[in-house]
Every structure is written in C-alpha cells, then in structure tokens.
Amino acid sequence: MSDFDVIIIGAGPGGYVCAIRCAQLGLKVAVVEGRDTLGGTCLNVGCIPSKAMLNATHHLHEVHENFEKMGLMGGAPTVDWAKMQGYKQDVVNGNTKGIEFLFKKNKVTWLKGWGQITAPGQVKVGDDTHKAKHIVIATGSEPAALPGVTVDEKTVVTSTGALELATIPKSVTVIGAGVIGLELGSVYARLGAAVTVVEYLDVITPGMDAEVQKTFQRILTKQGLKFIMGAAVQGVEASAEGNVTTYKLRKDDSLATLTSDVVLVATGRKPYTAGLGLEALGVEMGPRGTVKTDAHWATNVPGVYAIGDAVAGPMLAHKAEDEGMALAEVLAGKHGHVNYGVIPGVIYTTPEVASVGATEEALKEAGRAYKVGKFPFMGNARAKAVFQAEGFVKILADAATDRILGAHIIGPAAGDLIHEVCVAMEFGASAQDLALTCHAHPTYSEAVREAALACGHGAIHA
C-alpha cells in the first residue's frame, strides 16, 4: 500500500494538469490511468487528432480552391489515407509522450489501471489499494447515446470511430450540428464526401451568438455541407445501400430517410463515472450524471473532489485544466479560483469560430443595456490576402461603463484572436482600452481593434 497526498483518477487535461501543479506545490502525487497512453480523450481520440485531420484537409482544400489563384500551378495532390492517418497518430504520440516526460520531470507516479474509490482516502487499482489524503475525480466524459442508434465505430461512429475510418467514405450523415459534428463533417467534406448534417434545433452551434450561427451555416453550406434543420432522428438501420437514417421533421411530423456510407453520432457527451464506486461511497450526484461539488470542487464526501467534464459546466479541455490548477492550489493550502465568465469556446473549422462572455441574446434576456462594435474581415488587408475575408469580429460592451462583456469572432485565426479579449475581460478593461492599444499591421488582430473602435466613434476601415 502506497501513501500519497493526492491521487487523481484520470490523466486527461484536467487530471494531468492538476497532478503537475500539485507536484510543483510540493505534494506527493499519483495519477490513475487505464489507457496505455496519458492525455485522456483529448490527446488520444479527441481535440488533438481532430486538429491534425483539420490541418491536413485544410491544406488539401487550399490546393484545390486557392493555389491557382496565387499562380501556383500543377496537378492537384491525391490523398494517401494511410499516410494521413499515420501523420495524425504521430501528432498524438508526440503529445502523449510529452505528458509522460512531464510526469517523470515532476515526479508524478502513474498508477496504471482503472481506479475505484473503496473508502474515503483509499483507491483500488487492480489488486493494490493506495491511500491518499485527497482523491480527485477527473474521469472526463464519453459520447452520449442516441435512442434507436447502435454505434459500432465502423460505419455508425462517434468522434472516436470517425477519426479512424478504414477508408474515406463517399457520403456521411452527421447527427448533431455542434462543435464535433461540424469539425469532423468539414474534414470529410474536404476529402470529397457528401456530408449532410441533421440537427434537432433550428440553428447550428446551440448557445452561440445568433448572427455567428447564421453566418457560419451560410459559409459551411458554400463549402458543400448540407443541413436538415428541425429534424428529430428516429433511428439508423443498415441496408444493402448503406446506413439509413430516419428522421422526423418537427414542423409537420413528416418522416424522411437519408442513406449514407457512414453515420456520425455527434449529439454531445456525458460524464464518465462508471466503476468508480461513487454510489456505494455516498457521493452526491448532480443533473445529467455530473458529480456535485461546492465552490472549491469538493464533493459531500470529505477528501473527495471532482473537476472537468465530470462536473457541471462546459465540457472543454481548458476549463478542466483551469479547474485542475485551481484545485491543486486549494489542496496545497492556497487559494484557487476559476473565472467561469471568461472561458472561451472555439470551433476549428475554416473559418474558425470563437466566443467568450455574454451573447447579445443573453444580455437582452438579462435586460442589460449594451452597445455593439462590429468589424468585417472584408476590411482587413491580411484576411483578404489569404482568401479569408468572410466573417467578422463583434464586441459587446456595457452601454454606460464601456466594460467589455463578450466577444464573438468568425474568421481567420479566431481561436487565437479571442484571447486578446479574454485578457482584457480578466482585467476589467473597456472597449476603449482595447481600441487605444496599438496593433501591428497587417495582422488579423487589427479586426479586433477595429471592432473595439466601433464601440466608440467608429471603425477606421469600415
């Protein structure tokens, strides 16, 4: 039996970041992980491999759509699917090995296997039981099931199977117009598949700024994705022609079918807590399978904590990382804090979509007086030079104080640009503060400054 200050169950972004910070703060730490590699869903079968595929297929898209416009002539490349899959795996391996190195560097013990909390302060891994003053649940999430749809990860797949298809399909049905569905749908559309997205709601990317939603759907439609909105999927059946998806249109209850080689189920994720022994331990659970915690990520069982996708809030790797670092501070006797009002969200399509803070819809609902500063990328010289002038930056500021309340970007490098606004919001900056800050020319970031200027006397280039 080994004694630790902290045992963390799960080596995803929340778990491994929490472990490293705990070790840096002088605590003796172990991480329980049953995969052969560290990094959890994100590094192994989620964020990282999907970005590799998005990168590869973006270059393919550029060759077909834009190279000739720039005077780059010659035959278009063909896709070596096995080689592309190999590139993706190399990216994954490099990142997961990196976490292993960081564990060794920081003297974090990897307990290989699946963990069960048998009693407060005790975690069983295989045949061994280990003691700890603090136990952290960082077990992440898994794809949510859809009634009437049986996933085989071959032709009816979740994001995991979609990243390792044996061949490039000729047609794909994506169930769900959220981040995962649109990113992976974009990958296969660029590879030549006919992609149809079936969404229950009347808008894509639920919860995002309404203007962004409309612009984003229009751009994706131009890129070849088809959308069937307001459709409730009833089931998926195999046939000689392929997988048949049956859906019911909410507007008139009419039934229709769609046949495709592959069906991607991208209807969200749910916390993964199976096998932890939480019920026997008496851990109180929250809505939709989340672990209930207080403001310091503590459960109702003394010494047991939870972070990341296992608890309430957006299921984002960086949210889990923030909670992991903050909890480590708490466990080391310091003060840990997460500003949940400044957690950005990003969709890594082309164009990218990013947001932070409040939407216009939320501000209207709250009855808050606000002003809008908006600037189109059509007025940004750098964006026009790389054929990415569609989209805009929108900044929302308090009508009286000019304090930035939120930002929404659809355009080139949106996932990087949003952090300028995040830092500004963290410091309580006004739109004028951002507008009066010099930005290098020519950069995409000038569009953010122009949107801030538009909150005042007006943008210069619009």
Beta strands in 226-384 (DSSP E): 226-229, 231-239, 242-249, 255-260, 262-265, 269-271, 304-306, 345-347, 352-357, 370-376
Residue with tokens 């670092």: 325
Collapsing DSSP to helix, strand or coil, 292 comes out as coil
**Whole-number Cα distances in Å, 227 to 121, 198, 238:** 50, 6, 22
Task: Give the CA angle between residues 219, 220, 223 to the nearest 5°.
Answer: 95
Within 10 A of 241 (CB to CB), how many other CB atoms are there? 9
- The yes-or-no answer on residue 337 being catalytic is no
Q: Which of 64, 337, 441, 461 is catalytic?
A: 441
The three-state (H, E, C) secondary structure of 262-290, written as one string:
EEEECCCEEECCCCCCHHHHCCCECHHHC
52-89 burial, b if ≥16 CB within 10 A, otherwise e?
bbbebbbebbbeeeeeeeeeeeeeeeeeeeeebbebbe
CB 15 within 8 A of CB 40: yes
Collapsing DSSP to helix, strand or coil, 355 comes out as strand
For residue 122, count CB atoms less than 10 angstroms from its CB and return exposed for 0-12, middle for 13-18, buried for 19 or more.
middle
Residues forming the active site: 441
